């Protein structure tokens, strides 16, 4: 089963959206394998957003991501990386489709509620960036019969 990283950004924390977004992921059939609150700092964000450090909006992004503690979550499931990205929606909340998290909760290109890993390589790197190995749990639902068919497990 694939694992992926979700970050509840300060926009989700300030707007008290964390509970209902976790509910969406759980209702979909994704499993929480790790969850904690942490304060991000500039060094970690420069690594995490290395592809954006030269963009003019990067200082604003830094401030935005350090404004409150964030909640980081590891989700597990079949094709979890793709599924969580689809549920997250387009980067800019004004372009994101209704029904997606950003489409339903964001009007902004920056204040877009959640981060989600965008590829298998990113997911591995990001999970090890934000979690210690012992903070990710290798448990699974006892009864997955109605989440996946036998040939999907």
Which positions from 99 to 138 touch Mg ion by CB under 5 A, shown as an x/- string? -------------------x--------------------
Task: Taking the CA atoms of 121, 123, 124 and 130 in sequence, report the sign of the dihedral they define.
Answer: positive
State which residue, 94 or 149, has the beta carbon closest to ligand IDP.
Answer: 94
As measured in angstroms, the least distance from the Cβ of 27 to ligand IDP is 22
Burial class of residue 36, CB neighbours in 10 A (0-12, 13-18, 19+): middle
Q: How far is the CB of 141 from ligand IDP (least distance, A)?
A: 28
- CA dihedral for 88, 70, 5, 91, sign (positive or negative): positive
Q: Which residue ranges make up the site for ligand IDP (CB under 6 A)?
A: 49, 52, 57, 61, 91, 109-110, 112, 115, 118
- Tell me if residue 51 is catalytic: no
Compute the least distance from the CB of residue 148 to ligand IDP, in Å: 26
Here the tokens at position 69 are: 């503690």
Site string for Mg ion, 65-104 (x = CB under 5 A): ----------------------------------------
As a whole number of Å, the CA-based R_g of the chain is: 15
- The Cα–Cα gap between 144 and 45 comes to 36
Nearer to ligand IDP, 53 or 141 (CB): 53
Structure tokens at 38: 């942490």
Coil, strand or helix at 69: coil
Which of the following is catalytic: 115, 116, 117, 126?
A: 115
Q: Which are the contacts of 59, defined by CB distance < 8 A and separation ≥ 6?
A: none
Looking at the annotation, which residues are catalytic?
115
């Amino acid at each position: 089963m694939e694992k992926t990283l979700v970050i509840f950004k300060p926009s989700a924390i300030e707007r008290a959206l964390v509970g209902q977004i976790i509910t969406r992921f759980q209702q979909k059939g994704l499993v929480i394998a790790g969850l904690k609150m942490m304060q991000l700092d500039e060094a970690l964000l420069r690594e995490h957003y290395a592809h954006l450090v030269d963009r003019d909006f990067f200082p604003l992004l830094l401030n935005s991501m350090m404004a409150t503690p964030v909640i980081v979550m590891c989700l597990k499931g079949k094709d979890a990386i793709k599924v969580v990205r689809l549920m997250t929606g387009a980067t800019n909340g004004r372009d994101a489709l209704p029904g997606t998290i950003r489409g339903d909760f964001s009007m902004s290109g920056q204040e877009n509620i959640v981060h989600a890993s965008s590829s298998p390589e990113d997911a591995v790197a990001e999970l090890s960036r934000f979690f210690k190995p012992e903070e990710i749990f290798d448990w699974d639902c006892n009864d997955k019969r109605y989440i996946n068919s036998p040939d999907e497990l």
